[in-house]
A and B are shown apart, each in its own frame.
Chain A
Amino acid sequence: MVRVDGSGSSNSLISARGLSKTYSRGGEQIQVLQALNLDVDAGEFIAFMGPSGSGKTTLLNLLGGLDVPSAGSITVAGDEITHMSRSRLTQWRARHVGFVFQMYNLIPVLTAFQNVELPLLLTSLSKAQRRQHVETALGVVGLSDRIHHYPRQLSGGQEQRVTIARAIVSDPTFLLCDEPTGDLDRKSADEIMELILRLVKEYKKTVLMVTHDPVVAARADVTLHLEKGVLVEADRLQTVSSGGAR
């Protein structure tokens, strides 16, 4: 069960302790995260909310090993990532993290197939195995008929589904989604949310998602609010009543 008070058990999948991040801009220090604690168990689906500039993206970047904290530690599946060298961290990302960005971040000159294949190029899979994995992932997101399309030939919702296929194709330990529906209309957003829920329920994925949309956040097991640099559990009750023992 998710915890924000630093009391998580040692078998939490993701565990952040005393996490701080300070940016310096023009000689001025901006404290974004201040001794934040977080424990997430495998298979949980967490939504992060908070005002713009509260540090949601900063938190995801730290958890995903894209940035390093000013203080504190992050442990994922028993590995402390906060002391890894840059190149080890890069390898760790490839193995453990699936990213879904608000702006999709697909490579425009590569087809859907080639975009989804990218993470597999870092594995030892053969060409035939890669092809099979890519086709499966694109099948899961419902884009089997768009395999050789370029991103600009796809709608926003379809692009985001390619991004999700890319995030799950290598079967990472957890998914980080930064406003995955932020750029989509209501209908596409709903479809993406259905897809993410399916990943959690059917495929037992662990998902950490940032969103501004309360409707979207309501689909998650728990919504955590980022306020003044720490996380606050908003609707603990809801989680308990819906049976958090997943």
Chain B
Amino acid sequence: MAIPVVYNLRSVKERWTSAVVAVLGIAGTVGVFIAMLSLAFGFKATLVSSGSSDNAMVRRAGSTSEMDSSISLDQIKIMEDFPGVAHANGSPLVTPEVVVIAPFPLRSTGTDANVQVRGVSPRALEVRSKVKMIAGRFYQPGLAELVVGRNVDKTYAGLSMGDSVKFGGGTWQVVGVFDAGGSAFDSEVWCDAHVLNQIYHRPENIYQSLTVHLDSPSSLRQFKDAATADPRLTVDVSPEIEYYAKQSRTLTKLIVVLGGIVAVVMGIGAVFGALNTMYSAVAERSREIATLRALGFGAGSVVFSFMIEALLISLVGGLLGAVAVLPLNGLTTGAMNWQTFSHLAFAFRITPFLLGLGLLFALVMGILGGFFPALRAARRPVAPALRAM
């Protein structure tokens, strides 16, 4: 049987001041690690939740986002008649849209940040069933009226219900607030696409994207095939979910890579902290180790015992780090969406998976920090260590 774990538990407790260095190092690293990943996860989740599985997004072939895409009204009319398009009250459920970027002052700093202003069709709420009005009303077609996402109201000054704002050469009235269920639309301002084109002096019949509500998710195939087959069209059709998932990729990758570098650098520091703690534990307890060896515990038992001890310490550090960052969960922050250059509000999202990953990271640091000290403990000759006072 192995050296009892109670030996390690009590030894660590006895000399907890020495373990503190290792525990705090690992806690800090795990905290940053989880925070970074939860940021990336939150950002991704916000964008991904913007899409619906029964919506299709149509853009000009070869465009990277709505920003560099254009679709003419003629093309839209053709697609409205395609199979798979859902109808309500006898007309197709589609929303041809235009987007512009307008700067508004952030409440927090007073500096300007870019808000995505989306000109939508009056049927936009039917196409995107997740979006619900929570205050005021939807815009009246033909009027310079705005409805704002719930994060917009919170994040920017001058975009609350009843405010009147000037941008793009026009004066707009905020008439409603909508809730888009935590998706990217919550950071957007919506208005009538026609009115937006007029005020911005854009061509009347050119849109940037078309979002189509489908009969069902499986109708995408039919719709896409029809669009591909039609020689009058040069468009890309993708599931709306995929479009938004793709948008999240650049920033998510950036956060993960930067966060990874930071976590690795901190992790190296934490491993050295753990090494230090464990080496001093081994040095201080060399006579105890020699005694256990004299009693007949093998080198393997000693390695195992000190590995357990390192893992215990790292587990405490990991748990501490995880608990410390847990309050971040749900906390809203903002970042630039690099595809559209607009400001996007999203929340840290700490999932059980992330917590597990953080603990795993802690255990890896424990293994790295414990292995060589444990090996030293087992390799030290017994007889001289027994003489040591």
The answer to whether the Cβ of B382 comes within 8 Å of any Cβ in the partner chain is: yes
Distance (whole angstroms) from the CB of B389 to the closest CB of chain A? 7
Question: When chains A and B are docked, how far (Å) is the Cα of A91 from the Cα of B294?
Answer: 10
Q: Are the CB atoms of B296 and A105 closer together than 8 Å?
A: no
Given A87-B299, A105-B287, A110-B10, A66:B294 Cβ within 8 A: yes
Q: Chain B residues with Cβ under 8 A from A64's Cβ?
A: 294
Q: Chain B residues with Cβ under 8 A from A91's Cβ?
A: 296, 298
Q: Are the CB atoms of A66 and B382 closer together than 8 Å?
A: yes
Nearest B residue to A90, CB-CB: B298
Given A105-B287, A121-B1, A94:B295 Cβ within 8 A: yes
Distance (whole angstroms) from the CB of B297 to the closest CB of chain A? 7
* Interface flags, A50-61, vs B, CB<8A=1, else 0: 000000010001
Q: Are the CB atoms of A99 and B383 closer together than 8 Å?
A: no
Distance (whole angstroms) from the CB of A87 to the closest CB of chain B? 6
Q: Are the CB atoms of A90 and B383 closer together than 8 Å?
A: no
* Interface flags, B98-119, vs A, CB<8A=1, else 0: 0000000000000000000000
Interface residues of B in 1-33 (CB under 8 A from A): 1-4, 6-7, 10-11, 13-14
Given A107-B288, A110-B6, A122-B1, A93:B295 Cβ within 8 A: yes
Nearest B residue to A110, CB-CB: B7
The answer to whether the Cβ of B312 comes within 8 Å of any Cβ in the partner chain is: no
The answer to whether the Cβ of B165 comes within 8 Å of any Cβ in the partner chain is: no
The answer to whether the Cβ of A67 comes within 8 Å of any Cβ in the partner chain is: yes
Which among A57, A64, A107 has the greatest number of chain B C-beta atoms within 10 A?
A107
Q: Chain A residues with Cβ under 8 A from B288's Cβ?
A: 105, 107-108
The answer to whether the Cβ of B59 comes within 8 Å of any Cβ in the partner chain is: no
Q: Are the CB atoms of A109 and B294 closer together than 8 Å?
A: no
Interface residues of A in 124-164 (CB under 8 A from B): none
Q: Are the CB atoms of B296 and A90 closer together than 8 Å?
A: yes
Q: How many residues in A have their beta carbons less than 8 Å from beta carbons of B?
A: 27
Nearest B residue to A109, CB-CB: B10
* Interface flags, A79-110, vs B, CB<8A=1, else 0: 00000001100110111000101010111111
Q: Are the CB atoms of A121 and B298 closer together than 8 Å?
A: no
The answer to whether the Cβ of A180 comes within 8 Å of any Cβ in the partner chain is: no
Given A114-B6, A121-B1, A61:B383 Cβ within 8 A: yes
Question: When chains A and B are docked, how far (Å) is the Cα of A106 from the Cα of B381?
Answer: 19
Residues of A within 8 A of B (CB): 57, 61, 64, 66-67, 86-87, 90-91, 93-95, 99, 101, 103, 105-110, 114, 118-119, 121-122, 166
Residues of B within 8 A of A (CB): 1-4, 6-7, 10-11, 13-14, 287-288, 290-299, 381-383, 386-387, 389
Name the 4 nearest CB pairs between A and B, nearest first. Answer: A94-B296, A109-B10, A67-B383, A121-B1
27 sample A-B contacts, Cβ–Cβ < 8 Å, listed by A number:
A57-B387, A61-B386, A67-B382, A67-B383, A86-B299, A90-B296, A90-B299, A91-B298, A99-B294, A101-B386, A105-B287, A105-B288, A105-B290, A105-B294, A107-B7, A107-B291, A108-B14, A108-B288, A109-B6, A109-B7, A109-B10, A109-B11, A110-B6, A110-B10, A118-B295, A119-B295, A122-B297
